[in-house]
Amino acid sequence: MRSKLRTGNTSFLKHHRTGLRHLLHCMLACLVLLSSSCASSYSAQGVKYSGKNIKKYTPLPIRIHENKLMELLETISSLLGIEYHYGGKSIRGFDCSGFVQYLYKDTFNAYLPRTSRELAEIGKKISPGKLRRGDLVFFKLNGSQIDHVGIYLDRSLFVHASLSRGVTMGNLNNSYYKKRFVKAIRLLEVIESGRQ
């Protein structure tokens, strides 16, 4: 009986992950059609990535072309379902800030702070109604301080490394996240094709 349940659960999880991937691929197609240039007026600032004997700065805003956002979404699609791992920052497993750090480094060659609290202190604060793809969204899930971060996709959806579900999508309108949402920040400035 137990083996039947295990088999059933595995089948359900595979089906669930396939469904998430399919949804994200559909979103990619829609986003290509809806893509528009994003101008930003906030001044450049430095992000300090601190570690033992390491000091690197990525100037903000991180200036990218629209195709880099598509690349980000494609990478996210390939990572859906990867397990949560406390302290994880590789495809073997992610925690929430490790996931964000990995994506920004992999896609934009940007060095960001390691924890969600440190990430929340950089960039330009954005109101929820003005969120754009690639913005970071922050939550207080387990207390009075920011302890969770995700990357905004579109239409209230964001992607994050969840303790219970690994890399997955969430919805800002879901009552659980809505109640715990703290702030959003923008690190990216999308530049028009032909501009440097």
pLDDT tens across 30-42, in order? 443 333 222 222 3
From 53-57, 94-98, 119-123, 135-139, the region with the lowest mean pLDDT: 53-57
The pLDDT tens digits for 56-105 are 759 999 999 999 999 999 999 999 999 999 999 999 999 999 999 999 99
Which positions are annotated as active-site residues? 96, 148, 160
Region 114-119: what's the mean pLDDT? 96
Q: Where are the domains of the chain?
A: 2-191
pLDDT tops 60 at residue 155:
yes
Closest to 94 measured CA to CA, from 75, 110, 108, 109? 75
pLDDT given at position 56 = 77
CATH topology of domain 2-191: endopeptidase fold (from Nostoc punctiforme) (3.90.1720)
Report residue 196's pLDDT band, with 50, 70 and 90 as the boundaries: low
CB-based contacts of 77, cutoff 8 Å, min separation 6: 21, 24, 25, 28
Cα distances (Å, whole numbers) of residue 40 to 133, 156, 189: 14, 21, 6
